[in-house]
A = this chain, B = another copy of it.
Amino acid sequence: MGKQEIRYAAKVSLDTPPPEQKVLHNRWHPDIPFAGTIKNGEVVKIECLDWTGGQIGNNDSADDVRDVDLTKIHYLTGPFEIETAEPGDVLVVEIQDVQPLQEQPWGFTGIFSKENGGGFLDEIYPKPAKAIWDFEGIFCSSRHIPGVRFAGLIHPGILGCAPSPEVLETWNTREADLISAYKDHYKPVAQPPEPQNVHAGTASDEVKQKVGKEGARTIPGRPEHGGNCDIKNLSRGSKVYLPVHVKGAKFSVGDLHFSQGDGEISFCGAIEMAGVITLKFTVMKDGVAQLGMKSPIYIPGPVEPQFGPGRMLYFEGFSVDEHGKQHYLDATVAYRQTCLRVIEYLKRYGYDDYQIYLLLSCAPIQGHIAGIVDVPNACTTIGLPMDIFDFDIRPETKAEKRELGSCAVASS
């Protein structure tokens, strides 16, 4: 029988500008043409660019992060036609493997400027920053955050099937309502369709204009299809069940992460990378009705890095904000407080706030809803694996300040 390599359904180039690559697109729209066809039951490899399409370099300045163009992001590979898939079916996608591109064994984590994207803690930490991570097989480490090293829980940040016109209309309407309700917010709360820098694969000019005008932006995950859910344990070996909204499914994938913490708090918070993902596609006919499905579900893979529970240090946070104001069962406020508690703890070792903010975004921290009913306080917890540090961070061990350098910052 001989050799049988797995087929590449799409390859990307690190040297060609993303807008010129036909297998990519950067909006969700039912009219973006198929980038290829995959059989029901087939296993294929799909290459993906990093989510910025190469805007961030392996260097020691955060100027590129500061200046990132957010109209040009989330170059997804696809959409693929999955044979036999029809609206109402569920597309079962098994993630058989994810690997960085062999020729680019590094990734990055960024904190975006409050003025350009921001992040979960941007009111406290408004400046851009960056860390470069070098991959060493299953491990990664960063010259910008010395003293830590861990195995990646590698996964795609984005996968999903295209919306139907009706679903797309729903998205655009409800997000427009939010935008208008929050028009005085300190930063945009959602991104409406944006024609600038739209990439619609091999679409005709006419379709491309339509996609620019109507196409949903890729940043939010959305209940109807998943999309940019940024779930850290949707990793190798996982099986995800995705609702199909259009004929052929129009499946896309991208935004690969070498690792991510629960919340991906700095926004560009995972270890972002270009890579290749091996996927098996199976169509479950009429699956949406059978599973009573409104949002994707998944079963994680069996090979997560294992830290014994006794090697995790947990921090508690409550919905009282940093100004002392009591919020009502607000898990978002509580999680922000929990993050701040970790930062305070780790600063004692010599890290600066931005290094820890970056680390919390990409290291395999466990972010839990602990209690959400004890009025008025929501309680969330963050579990920090102590074994990712090469020094002892147990509370019993006296903290000594170390020389731990700094992350990459912007020139101004």
Mask of A87-103 contacts with B, CB within 8 angstroms, 1/0 = 00010100111000011
Interface pick from A22-30, A75-83, A194-202, A302-310: A302-310
Residues of B within 8 A of A314 (CB): 231, 233, 297-300
Mask of A1-21 contacts with B, CB within 8 angstroms, 1/0 = 111111000000010000000
Q: In the assembly, what is the distance between CA of A316 and CA of B234, in Å?
A: 11
Identify 6 new A-B residue pairs, CB closer than 8 A, beyond the known A178-B328, A223-B320, A307-B310.
Answer: A178-B376, A229-B370, A267-B374, A299-B394, A308-B387, A331-B380
Contact surface of A with B, Cβ cutoff 8 Å: 1-6, 14, 43, 57-59, 90, 92, 95-97, 102-106, 119-120, 134, 136-139, 151, 170, 174-175, 177-178, 182, 185, 188-191, 219-223, 226, 228-233, 236-237, 241, 262-267, 269, 278, 280, 284, 287, 290-318, 320, 324-332, 335, 337, 341, 344-345, 347-348, 366-381, 383, 387, 392, 394-396, 398-399
The 7 closest A-B CB pairs, nearest first, are A96-B137, A97-B137, A230-B371, A331-B331, A367-B369, A300-B309, A220-B377
| With A58-B1, A311-B387 as contacts: A297 and B345 at CB distance below 8 Å | yes
Shortest Cβ distance from A135 into chain B, in angstroms? 9
Checking B3, B90, B306, B313 against A304 with a beta-carbon cut-off of 8 angstroms, the contacting residue is B306
Contact B294 A304 (CB under 8 A): no
Residues of B within 8 A of A280 (CB): 136
Q: In the assembly, what is the distance between CA of A43 and CA of B330, in Å?
A: 37
| With A96-B136, A137-B278, A231-B379 as contacts: A370 and B190 at CB distance below 8 Å | no
Contact B307 A371 (CB under 8 A): no
Contact B221 A369 (CB under 8 A): no
User: Which residue of chain B has its CB nearest to the CB of A381?
Assistant: B231
User: Which residue of chain B has its CB nearest to the CB of A60?
Assistant: B1
| With A139-B237, A345-B291 as contacts: A335 and B228 at CB distance below 8 Å | no
Q: What are 7 inter-chain pairs, A to B, with CB distance below 8 A?
A: A5-B105, A96-B138, A231-B379, A233-B309, A299-B310, A299-B394, A306-B309
Shortest Cβ distance from A374 into chain B, in angstroms? 5
Contact A328 B182 (CB under 8 A): yes
Contact A372 B170 (CB under 8 A): no
Contact A372 B292 (CB under 8 A): no
Contact A332 B335 (CB under 8 A): no
User: Which residue of chain B has its CB nearest to the CB of A95?
Assistant: B137
Shortest Cβ distance from A238 into chain B, in angstroms? 9
Q: In the assembly, what is the distance between CA of A72 and CA of B43, in Å?
A: 35
Residues of B within 8 A of A381 (CB): 231
Residues of B within 8 A of A294 (CB): 341, 344
User: Which residue of chain B has its CB nearest to the CB of A344?
Assistant: B292
Contact B371 A3 (CB under 8 A): no
Residues of B within 8 A of A344 (CB): 292-294
Q: In the assembly, what is the distance between CA of A409 and CA of B214, in Å?
A: 49
Checking B134, B151, B291 against A302 with a beta-carbon cut-off of 8 angstroms, the contacting residue is B151
Q: In the assembly, what is the distance between CA of A395 and CA of B231, in Å?
A: 19
Contact B102 A188 (CB under 8 A): no
Contact A370 B263 (CB under 8 A): yes
Q: In the assembly, what is the distance between CA of A280 and CA of B394, in Å?
A: 18
| With A345-B297, A368-B368 as contacts: A222 and B302 at CB distance below 8 Å | no
Q: Which of A137, A185, A230 has the most CB of B within 10 A?
A: A137
